[in-house]
Amino acid sequence: MSDPALPRRPTLDLRAFTPARVALGRSGASVPTKALLDFTLDHARARDAVHAAFDASRLAADLGALGLAVTGVRSQAVDRKDYLRRPDLGRRLDPSSAEILARVAPAPCRLALVIGDGLSAAAVHAHAAALVSRLLPRLAEGDDVAIDHAVVASGARVALGDEIGALLGARMALMLIGERPGLSAPDSLGAYLTFAPKPGRSDAERNCVSNIHHAGLSYDEAAFKIAWLVREGLARQVSGVALKDESADRAPRRIGAALPE
């Protein structure tokens, strides 16, 4: 028997195509109890993701297992409360971290890989190392954009990758970072690419591959898109609005498999 609280088709059919809150039904002047409880749970998960602690050592170990040398840095945000109240502090390195990068910086590189906690450390813990494992061989194909070093940044906003990339002498910076949690995806990872990174770059000068998580973009699909944007950005010496993502035109009919459970 159908639930009388739920709307009739065709509205109900929309629920098969989106995790968004559509066709919830109603109970009197409000939503059904189950819909309210589901919303409360998802809201709690999103809040927990924002405040979760970042385990930089664990991530560094995972990246080390992939053969990458890892340098840990942090922004000028001294703690999580500072990070959330002062977004500007998350966009600049603290002085000691800048000195560390200046000392360990190898010869100028084509691509600097930076992984930051962002607004969801849970996303980074769940997806960053697995995505990098798929990305490294794709970058090594053809033009050989080899990566042997990664920077793990705590208290990071997207623009922190610009300063890190500049200190490393990189032609392009790739920032993997936890995205702002939503009610349907508290652990979504984003990838931001900036050609000729330096402090002061605007969001219009970046390309973004977003929604990398279990119900979103798979690791293989994301790695394909990122590798395409890296190669085209380096070849054309642009990123952002000047670089349109045309990777779908060259993608194989089926890119990899779904994310593992």
Binding-site positions for adenosylcob(III)alamin read 158, 179, 208
Tokens representing residue 76 in the block? 């000028």
Query: What are the φ and ψ backbone dihedral angles of 248, each rounded to 5 degrees?
Result: -60, -30
In DSSP terms, 189 is beta-bridged to 178, 212
Q: Indicate the SS3 state at residue 23.
A: coil
Element (H, E) at 63: helix 56-64
Q: Indicate the SS3 state at residue 173.
A: strand
CA 164 to CA 102: how far, in whole Å?
10
Burial (Cβ within 10 Å: 0-12, 13-18, ≥19) of residue 25? middle
Query: Half-sphere exposure of 39 toward its Cβ, with a 13 Å CA cutoff?
Result: 10
CA 125 to CA 116: how far, in whole Å?
10
Please enumerate, as own/partner, the contacts of 57-62 that have beta carbons within 8 Å and a separation of 24 or more: 58/125, 59/115, 59/124, 59/125, 59/128, 59/129, 59/152, 60/152, 62/128, 62/129
Q: How far, in whole angstroms, is CA 2 from its chain's centroid?
A: 40
Annotated binding site: 158, 179, 208
Of 190, 188, 261, 195, nearest to 234 by C-alpha is 195
